[in-house]
A and B are shown apart, each in its own frame.
Chain A
Amino acid sequence: GEDVEQSLFLSVREGDSSVINCTYTDSSSTYLYWYKQEPGAGLQLLTYIFSNMDMKQDQRLTVLLNKKDKHLSLRIADTQTGDSAIYFCAETVPGGYNKLIFGAGTRLAVHP
């Protein structure tokens, strides 16, 4: 079955690193995504990783994928107040016509 789980809340100090974790159940996932939702805004694609990769880095963002454990993480280096948002993990599976299967979202709060 298809299920994506995330912890609901994370609080970090400005300048520290944030690590948001996600687990998924479908081993046939093709792509895994991280979306960001700021207050009053839609979902913005932050980054994605293909299922045959184990790491992807994009400026302050690092995505790690452990396919054996079906675990995905997003690390934000030097977290800023502008990073405060809800972060959603999502996957697509073969034959799904790119429909996204989301987790419940992790609310990241950055404090001074």
Chain B
Amino acid sequence: EAGVTQFPSHSVIEKGQTVTLRCDPISGHDNLYWYRRVMGKEIKFLLHFVKESKQDESGMPNNRFLAERTGGTYSTLKVQPAELEDSGVYFCASSRGGEAFFGQGTRLTVV
């Protein structure tokens, strides 16, 4: 069974540009989570989908971040326009309701 996969693994963009991160969860997992780790600090929760619905988006930093999960399968996280402080590693995780399985993360660098 394929695990959680994230694309791209690395992205370097200029301040003001747009970036879209993608997460493909494990097939059949209704729960999908996005997290972010900035500058070696704690991993922070961003939001949680149940199928295509946003269950909890309390961790989204501001309205420059937009997450979607059309059809309840893969999810995208778009940052527009990107700022320097958005740099970090973005993790996606999926679960059936128990253990969450994580992807390898996308390292985003905004210069």
A45 within 8 A of partner (CB): yes
Query: Number of B residues contacting the other chain (C-beta, 8 Å)?
Result: 26
Q: Give B residues with C-beta under 8 Å from A.
A: 3-4, 31, 33, 35, 40-45, 48, 50, 55-56, 91, 93, 95, 97, 99-105
Q: Count A/B pairs, Cβ under 8 Å.
A: 54
Which of chain A's residues have a CB closer than 8 A to the CB of B97? 98
Q: Are B40 and A104 in contact (CB under 8 A)?
A: yes
16 contacting pairs across A/B (C-beta < 8 A): A35-B102, A40-B104, A41-B104, A42-B102, A42-B104, A43-B43, A43-B102, A44-B102, A96-B56, A97-B31, A97-B50, A97-B56, A98-B95, A100-B35, A100-B43, A104-B41
A101 within 8 A of partner (CB): yes
Q: Give A residues with C-beta under 8 Å from B.
A: 4, 8, 35, 40-45, 88, 90, 96-105
- CB < 8 Å neighbour of A42 from B33, B55, B91: B91
Q: Are A99 and B103 in contact (CB under 8 A)?
A: no
Which of chain B's residues have a CB closer than 8 A to the CB of A103? 42
Q: Are B44 and A102 in contact (CB under 8 A)?
A: yes
Q: CA–CA, A44 to B91, complex, Å?
A: 12
